[in-house]
Structure 1
Amino acid sequence: MSEYCWCTATPAIEDLIREHDELVELSAEAREAYRRGDLESLIDCCARISTVLGPHTVVEERGLFPPMAAEFPEKIAILRGEHRRIEAVLAGAADGTARTDPTWAALAVEMLTLLRRHIVKEQEGLFPAALAVLSNEQWDMLTAIRAGTSLIGS
């Protein structure tokens, strides 16, 4: 992300960027496990990625994507689709597919590449654009979603 974009001055975006950083670190661990042929470590890394990505995705899809979709419908549709593809592969770490499907590990590594590209799209495109599009109330909604509450009706 460009340092000049002011995204990190916005707490909601700063939290998302911090999670992206954690996802990149976990992805590096997962790639190393794959290189070593350590399926159990790869599964563990993917489970940890899911733990970070689950709430992160909720914040994006419930708080950030709806107002951005009005301005950039095609781009938001692509990001949502990528979320589904990433989640589908990560699900294999939890549902046993990783241990029974000999192609899962290679799919996981492809998913890690998609995740990295997805992060770049968000940090270099979506987040800076959100600074110009979202209202104060919409930023408050992101904060509320992250906190597990809703401002609807208040």
Structure 2
Amino acid sequence: MSDYCWCLATPAIEELIREQDELVELSALARAACRCGDLDALVECVTAISVLFGAHAEVEEGGLFPPMAAEFPEQIAVLQGEHRRIAAVLAGATDGTARTDPAWPAQITKALTLLRRHIVKEQEGLFPAALTVLTSDEWERLAEIRADAGLLAS
């Protein structure tokens, strides 16, 4: 996030960034569990990531992406596609894949790398652009979606 960005002065964006920071911290724990070969800890971390990421993506896709798509259709399509790819691998923590597919830990490592790159795209591009695109009503809608997703402001 640029030091010159006013994103952190916008509560909705500040909350999205806080969630992303938490996702990065959880990802570090997941990577450590993967390096140690601790499948139980890896599944636990990835489950936590999946829950937070799912709610976070719900807020972005329901409140942030629609108004941004008119001006930035290709970029929003890429971000949506990344949401799907990341979520599909994260789902392995709870759908049995983690326990049956020996390649799953490597897939998680790749998904976490994609997640980190995705976060950078949002923080460096999407969030600053949202400050110029979203209307007051759209920011309010974002807050409603956040509450519906169970993500209350900290």
TM-score range, shorter chain: over 0.9
Q: Which residue of structure 2 lines up, in the alignment, with residue 131 of structure 1?
A: 131
Q: Which residue of structure 2 lines up, in the alignment, with residue 110 of structure 1?
A: 110
Distance 1:22 1:47 in 2: 13
TM-score for both structures, normalised by structure 2: 0.95
Describe the superposition over 1:44-77 as per-residue Cα deviations: whole angstroms up to 9, x where unpaired: 1100001111111110000000000000000000
- Return 5+ residue gaps in structure 1 as ranges: 150-154
Q: Which residue of structure 1 lines up, in the alignment, with residue 35 of structure 2?
A: 35
TM-score for both structures, normalised by structure 1: 0.95
Describe the superposition over 1:8-59 as per-residue Cα deviations: whole angstroms up to 9, x where unpaired: 1111101100000000000000000111111111111100001111111110
Q: Which residue of structure 1 lines up, in the alignment, with residue 58 of structure 2?
A: 58
1:10 is aligned to 2:10: yes
Report deviation, 1:3.
Answer: 2.0
Distance 1:95 1:142 in 2: 30
Distance 1:108 1:55 in 2: 19
Which amino acid in 2 is paired with 1:137? D
Describe the superposition over 1:58-99 as per-residue Cα deviations: whole angstroms up to 9, x where unpaired: 100000000000000000000000000000001000011011
Distance 2:12 2:69 in 1: 18
Distance 1:63 1:69 in 2: 11
Distance 1:97 1:50 in 2: 14
Distance 2:108 2:10 in 1: 32
Distance 2:141 2:44 in 1: 32
Q: Which residue of structure 2 lines up, in the alignment, with residue 86 of structure 1?
A: 86
Distance 2:143 2:89 in 1: 28
What is the identity percentage for the equivalent residue pairs of Structure 1 and Structure 2? 70
Distance 1:71 1:49 in 2: 30
